[in-house]
């Protein structure tokens, strides 16, 4: 069953056509990765799913409901950004609780959700710290924690590991895979890193200049790239 559906989605900024008619679907619990070169429209697509950017045409559905013009808060999706954007004056706990306070959840429910997310991400000992006292990897966990506590229908990740050094990146890659297994949540993950795409994805969407070049499992794309562009990106050497 389709959980997320993009039907003929287009996006223009003034004269500039950035997304030129894209069809993508994801089933519940699926880990879908968008890959493609810088400027091909990955972030724009993600932002349209989140409702942070209006679509120019086409329709968008989540969990069987059309949300093309739905405000972001009502879509029940949550985005993890490349720059973690934690509030520097707030503790880790308060950073993770912030969105829940805005949504006026009761305090005991906030404590329960933050505690649970901290346990999953193994950051329980850090809850009283300020972001400046955290390493890059710990900050990234807090940023992911802010999404988990909201219990979203879909997790969106926009190159979440690209600011980390190589070692931490591979460590966090394993953590994200584990998180996906544990939560069983639908995830859409943007990266330009082939290794991340190949190891995390159930299905990869290869984008080029606002269009889908090919969609398939890592093995399908690796073994049967549709063209030299896909092959160059993730395919086997020909
Ligand atoms: P990616 O994430 O794949 O690197 P983006 O989605 O950020 O690509 O950008 C795709 C294209 O859209 C780029 O050419 C970018 O310059 C353009 N673009 C993105 N946002 C805007 C905007 N708000 N106004 C004008 N052009 C934009
Ligand atoms: Mg981007």
Which of 46-50, 173-177, 187-191 shows the lowest mean pLDDT across its residues?
173-177
What is the per-residue pLDDT for 137?
A: 86
Q: In the predicted model, is pLDDT for residue 92 greater than 80?
A: yes
Confidence of residue 155 (pLDDT cuts 50, 70, 90): very high
Q: Whose CA is nearest to atom 16 of ligand 1?
A: 39
Arithmetic mean of pLDDT, 29-52: 96
Residue 43 Cβ inside 6 Å of ligand 1? The answer reads yes
Arithmetic mean of pLDDT, 92-110: 95
Which mutation among 33, 35, 43, 210 tests ligand 1's pocket best, with the greatest number of atoms within 8 A of CB?
Answer: 43
Which mutation among 44, 82, 156, 206 tests ligand 1's pocket best, with the greatest number of atoms within 8 A of CB?
Answer: 44
What is the per-residue pLDDT for 83?
A: 67
Closest C-alpha to 30, from 221, 175, 216: 216
Arithmetic mean of pLDDT, 125-140: 93
Ligand 1 centroid vs 32 CA: distance in angstroms? Answer: 21
Give the CA count within 13 Å in the CB-facing half-sphere of 229.
Answer: 14
Q: How far apart are CA 121 and CA 140, in angstroms?
A: 10
What is the per-residue pLDDT for 163?
A: 80
């Amino acid at each position: 069953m389709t959980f997320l559906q993009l039907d003929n989605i287009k996006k223009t900024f003034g004269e500039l056509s950035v997304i030129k008619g894209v069809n993508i679907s994801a089933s519940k619990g699926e880990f879908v990765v968008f890959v493609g070169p810088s400027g091909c429209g990955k972030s724009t697509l993600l932002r349209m799913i989140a409702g942070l950017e209006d679509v120019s045409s086409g329709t968008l559905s989540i969990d069987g409901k059309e949300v093309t013009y739905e405000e972001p808060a009502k879509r029940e999706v949550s985005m993890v950004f490349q720059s973690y954007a934690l509030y520097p004056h707030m503790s880790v706990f308060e950073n993770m609780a912030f969105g829940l306070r805005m949504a006026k959840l009761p305090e005991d429910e906030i404590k329960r959700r933050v505690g649970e997310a901290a346990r999953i991400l193994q950051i329980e000992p850090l809850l009283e710290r300020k972001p400046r006292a955290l390493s890059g990897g710990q900050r990234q966990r807090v940023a992911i924690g802010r999404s988990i506590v909201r219990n979203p229908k879909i997790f969106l990740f926009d190159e979440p590991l690209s600011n980390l050094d190589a070692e931490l990146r591979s460590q966090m890659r394993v953590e994200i895979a584990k998180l996906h297994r544990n939560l069983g949540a639908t995830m859409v993950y943007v990266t330009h890193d082939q290794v991340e795409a190949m190891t995390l994805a159930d299905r990869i969407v290869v984008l080029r200049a606002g269009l889908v070049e090919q969609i398939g499992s890592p093995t399908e794309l690796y073994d049967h790239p549709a063209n030299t562009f896909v092959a160059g990106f993730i395919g086997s050497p020909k």
